[in-house]
Amino acid sequence: MIDWLKFFPFALRDEPNPSEVRGPYFSKPVPIKWQFGDSFLHFTAPRSNAVFSFSGRSRSVDRVVPKKRDILKALGPRPNTGDWDNPVNRWNYNLIYFNAWYFVGPWFCGAKARFSVRANLIETSRLSSFFNRNMFHPKVFESAVASILDCHYGHHDFNTKTKAHFRGPLNWQVLPISNSIQAVVCDVHCVGNGTVEDPEVYRKIYIPITSSHILNFNFDFCGADLKNDTVRAKPLLALCNSIIDSIRLDVGPETQAEWDKVKAACPDMSITETFGELQWPLAPEKPPKEKREVDITPQSAGFEKLRSI
């Protein structure tokens, strides 16, 4: 009873360096299930909680959740792809999930840390060299992940043309989520706002959810110093790891048949255990001699196009 009151998510005063930070307030994991065709993705995450106050220290959570139906069918036609000159346009993003959790200090000193999760369903646009390529092929999948990272993080310069604003992928790991389909986990470090030794970290998961779609989870520690600030880092990492460890994929028979077709031509379906750091920033690319066809079908209502991972 005392702990419930001690870390109640109500902000009345400020304490910049609390000795203890706890959260989220509703800590019990809640099962979540998403349908992609005949496959189902499962994971658990606690309910999010806002932080309330009468003194301007309130914090809200604007959740985004998919409807309880086949997400692939809800996407509708391909969205506009725009110009080839913008690398982000080579991939189409559909935001299907967003949630955030606040971690508070004791005795009503309010939010002291924040952790958020964003999930996007990614597919190639007609501007991409990966258009109509099978994401179940391990080498195609690995190259696609590298291309996605390049398009979003490889074109940001920091001070000079030789010093990148981001570094990645780092801490690459294979994540077994089913008997056939596997995912990868990696980190991207934002070094432009700090140093190489103490970066801002984004943790990412990429899953080949269909032969033409990649599901991306982006875990954001919202600027917390994971290396030096153990008071905040410990509960943030605990929540992040619990969500990642809970991810499972029930592969449907039709999806499994698509995967088996690739395996028949490529017996080694394993994903590489190591992946080198990409060399950022990238040099500007020359546009293709012939412009690729662009789909101008309006985007389906109900899903938001995301411009950053």
Q: For 207, phi and psi rounded to 5 degrees?
A: -130, 125
Q: Which residue has the higher pLDDT, 149 or 4?
A: 149
- Answer yes or no: is pLDDT of 9 > 90: yes
What was the pLDDT predicted at 305?
35
Instruction: Note whether 217 and 119 are within 8 A (CB).
Output: yes
pTM: 0.87
Amino acid 309: pLDDT: 38
Parallel, antiparallel, or unpaired: how do β-strands 39-46 and 29-36 relate? antiparallel
d(CA 231, CA 23): 12
Looking at 42-56, 116-130, 294-308, which range is the least confident one? 294-308
pLDDT for residue 196 is more than 70: no
Least confident of 112-116, 147-151, 246-250, 299-303: 299-303
Classify each residue of 138-166 as buried b or exposed e, where b means 16 or more C-beta atoms within 10 Å of its C-beta.
bebbbebbbbbbbbbbbbeebeeeeebbb
How many percent of the chain have pLDDT more than 90?
65
Work out the average pLDDT over 119-135.
Answer: 87
Position 92, amino acid: N
pLDDT at 227: 87
pLDDT tens track for 64-97: 999 889 999 987 655 544 444 556 567 889 999 9
**Rounded CA gap, 242 and 276, in Å?**
26
Sign of torsion, CA 245 251 255 260?
positive
Instruction: Return the pLDDT at 27.
Output: 92
How far is 309 from 190, CA to CA, in rounded Å? 13
Q: What is the mean pLDDT of residues 122-146?
A: 90
Bond from prior residue into 169 cis (ω within 30 degrees of 0): yes
